[in-house]
A and B are shown apart, each in its own frame.
Chain A
Amino acid sequence: MTIRPGAGQATQGSAQVAVADGPPATETSTKRSRGLAGPKRQNLFDRYRYPFILLGRLVRTDFKLRYHGSALGYLWSLLRPLFLFVVLYFVFARFLKLGAGIPHFPQYLLLGIVLWNYFAEVTANSIAAIVGKGDLLRKIDFPKYVIILAGSFSAFINLLLNLAVLGVFLAVGRVHVGWNALLIVPLIAELFVFGLALSFVLSALYVRFRDVAFIWEVFMQAAFYATPILYSVSFVPQSIAQLQFLSPMAQIIQDARYVLVTDQTQTIYDVYDGRVWVWLVPLAVCLVSVILAATYFRSRSKYFAEEI
């Protein structure tokens, strides 16, 4: 004799894990913190406790392992942008003299490259992130988005260190930094969200199509030159520039340069002849892509364990 879970019985603090599951977070502790509580709704703290713990731990682990085995360790996080600056300074500012007309050209370049590198790093690492954690996925059920978030935060820490080095060079180069420099915060938030969106899509696609890694590599090479990073926007015809700025990356980099380094640079506002609303375009691209990407990732994530 067994008891069927009738409508009345199953409600008492039970967690449904059924065919069409809702959020990936089913591993929450409904009982542990509150004892045998009644059919209360899971509050936010309980629901996101496990993903939060996991996220923190994965980011720490990733950071610990990043420079493991290297003698200088974390110092590389600071040395890398430093050496990059030295190279940029000599090659582009002194030798090629690309920065004619742009004040503080080495800082200008470094900022662009640091932001681009974050984007390149976060997307490249994300591609194999899910497949790389395949062993884990087949052993335990946990919210998969945590893997992608952890990768983003890990690269984000690196970005902050790079920006700190940039800050030193801004000070050394006596670059005037005003209050509008604070606008870098929303710009970096935008960059983070856009990177996250692509990470979700790429990692989920890679589970099924391994070609994604190669396609993305080639695409990023092209995108690097299609984005005004090494060259000034004024070098390209306005119609082309208008196209370039549909990419959030071009908009973010140019806006960041404008607020941090010099106002002698063109932003999306200038390229579109001073129309303020055009800022909404890359923002919309960013928001729509993150929503679509998260939806796609969530729908695929149920099958990651079987498909890897």
Chain B
Amino acid sequence: MTRELALSVTDVSKRFTLPHERITTVKSLFTGLVKRQSKIVNETQHALQDISFEVERGEFFGIVGRNGSGKSTLLKIMAGIYRPSTGSVVKTGRLVPFIELGVGFNPELTGRENVYLNGAMLGFSAREIEALYSDIVEFAELERFMDQKLKNYSSGMQVRLAFSMATRAKTDILLIDEVLAVGDADFQRKCFDYFKSLKKQNVTVVFVTHDMSAVREHCDRAMLIEDSRIVSIGDTDMITKQYFELFHLPAPALHSDENGAEAEVEAEAEAEAEAQHPQVVEQAEEPAPKRWGSMKAAFTSIDLSSSRVTDADDTISITCTAEAKESVEDAVFGFMIRNASGQPILGTNTEIKGQRPMSLAEGQKVVVRWSVPNVFNEGLHWLEPAIVHNGGGDVCDWWQEAASFTVVRQERTPYIVSPAIDLVIEKGQG
């Protein structure tokens, strides 16, 4: 069988120019001219640099990367929403992007009218939609609601309708942003069934996600983007591994044409970048650790037994060292562990464990050691320790994303946790 290219991206770069004072009014255009002496630096944000790859017909191709790596920008360039600064994208056949479900949905229109509207956005004529209408409604399970205004739909109903529309899109190439990875378990199952049916129809799919299990399950190949460049392209196991390894590297610096620009300038440009292109530039770096509280007693160090956890590890030990800067009554220590998508998975505190609240004298040091069974599923996890007092009413120190560890598993399940599960099969006489 000859291989046919569906999508070919050649040397694509994308730069966003971020003037320090963005000229949005005619006045600032003039005042900007006057103030020239106060060196207005045009920061250039390289959202993508020298991206080249090819996707074959019928292939499921994953694009992964951290927030701000440039993957969403790449998707938008492939979709024709942004123009590349240099380079070209050649696509063979019809391409439909799903940056978002239900593009063009209007809350003031009825479900029926929205079907026609969204259908038009996807390129369906009114006659084509009429032919598909009953299928769409049936699939969305919304027969009774089609003459109600969309604003009266629950968000679940809206997503169902939008997804039902999306599955009708006749296309050769489908670009999917993470949007399809939201929703409840039932919806997820529908999505996965849909992906499988796409595979049978030889549709090419480019899939942008954070969800490594989805990449493993659906993609034939994947590409890792970091810091606006391609890190590697290859089989999904390798890419997944490299993705998790990224989180142990120091956060990348913002790229800038002005090498002499000060750190402050960069931070400013970044904030601006976010304001102007909220979906493009996202965040150029991982957010700084979020931490709050009175700091009467505060953590001085957080240690994990290992930052890389495998099947071989039965437990993960967490050592939290804290020091009281003032005397604190009734202090309770606790922690929570969240997965990469921010979902809390488990946690406890000294009170739940039957310990009396502690009284700490000024300058007193406390070491709290937790030993947590390794029930975690694959991926990055964040530790969120806290010290509270006065019955939990006052926060001394609450530290989001204080430390992280990455779990690598042989057995893969699509669930939140993945504890060791024993299996016994007893076969009767057959």
Contact = CB atoms under 8 A, between A and B. Distances in A.
Interface residues of A, number: 49
B170 interface: yes
Interface string A265-280: 0000000000000000
A141 B25 contact: no
A80 interface: no
Interface of B: 3, 5, 8, 16, 23-27, 29, 53-54, 56, 76, 79-84, 86-94, 97, 99-100, 103-104, 106, 108-109, 113, 116-117, 119-121, 123-126, 170, 172, 277, 279-280
A29 B123 CA distance: 8
20 contacts: A3-B5, A5-B8, A10-B92, A14-B90, A17-B90, A18-B89, A18-B90, A19-B84, A27-B80, A32-B170, A57-B117, A57-B119, A65-B106, A65-B109, A140-B79, A140-B103, A141-B81, A208-B23, A210-B25, A305-B82
B120 A139 contact: no
Nearest to B92: A14
Given A53-B123, A138-B81, A17 B103 contact: no
Interface of A: 2-5, 9-10, 12-19, 21, 26-32, 49-50, 53-54, 56-58, 61, 64-65, 68, 136-142, 208-211, 215, 302-303, 305-306
A51 to B, nearest CB: 10
A64 B113 CA distance: 10
At the interface, is chain A mostly helix, strand, loop or mixed?
A: loop
Given A3-B3, A19-B88, A54 B113 contact: no
A46 B302 CA distance: 63
Contacts of B91: 14-15, 17
Contacts of B92: 10, 12-15
A201 to B, nearest CB: 15
B121 A17 contact: no
A306 B23 CA distance: 15
Contact of A139 (B27, B29, B99, B106): B99
Nearest to A305: B81
A306 B120 CA distance: 23
B109 A61 contact: yes
A138 B84 CA distance: 15
Contacts of B23: 208-209
A21 B83 contact: yes
Contacts of A57: 116-117, 119-120, 126
B9 to A, nearest CB: 10
Contact of A142 (B83, B106, B121): B121
